[in-house]
Amino acid sequence: DTEVTQTPKHLVMGMTNKKSLKCEQHMGHRAMYWYKQKAKKPPELMFVYSYEKLSINESVPSRFSPECPNSSLLNLHLHALQPEDSALYLCASSQDGQGDQPQHFGDGTRLSIL
């Protein structure tokens, strides 16, 4: 069982909908990440939170809005998405974000935009 839990596992939404993806970890990790992964491609970093503060935003469109309510939770709020946003969205965490720490990934939310 993965130690990073993501919900929902699947999400289908229209371009005008608002939805949220959720991620939870109870490993005491202080760095959390959102990635986007297209089929047969590597994960692409979207956001990094370190000690609940947004540290990196990789020029992600504003229709994606991250939130870190506490050290265990990470949300990704979605609004007015485009069909090209259909992908697997992965959450990950690491101990405190240092470059030689393993990142623990959840199994992702598969998002389809109609």
Partner 1 sequence: QQQVKQSPQSLIVQKGGIPIINCAYENTAFDYFPWYQQFPGKGPALLIAIRPDVSEKKEGRFTISFNKSAKQFSLHIMDSQPGDSATYFCAASIRGDSWGKLQFGAGTQVVVTP
* Contact criterion met (CB below 8 Å) for 104 and 25: yes
Tell which one of 34, 81, 104, 111 touches partner 1 (CB under 8 A): 104
Q: What is the 3-state secondary structure (H, E, C) of 3-61?
A: CEEEECCEEEECCCCEEEEEEEECCCCCEEEEEEECCCCCCEEEEEEECCEEEEECCCC
- Of residues 28-87, those binding partner 1 (CB under 8 A): 31, 33, 40-43, 45, 48, 50, 55-56
Smallest separation (angstroms) from partner 1 to the CB of 99:
4
CB of 76 to partner 1, least distance (A): 15
Residue positions counted in the chain: 114
**Nearest CA-CA partner of 31 in 89, 95, 107:** 95
Residue list 77-96, contact with partner 1 (CB under 8 A): 90, 92, 94
Position among 15, 101, 112, 114 found at the interface with partner 1 (CB under 8 A): 101
Integer Cα distance of 16 and 60 in angstroms = 18
* Residue 64 or 89 with smaller CB distance to partner 1: 89
Chain positions contacting partner 1, by CB under 8 A: 2, 4, 31, 33, 40-43, 45, 48, 50, 55-56, 90, 92, 94, 97-108
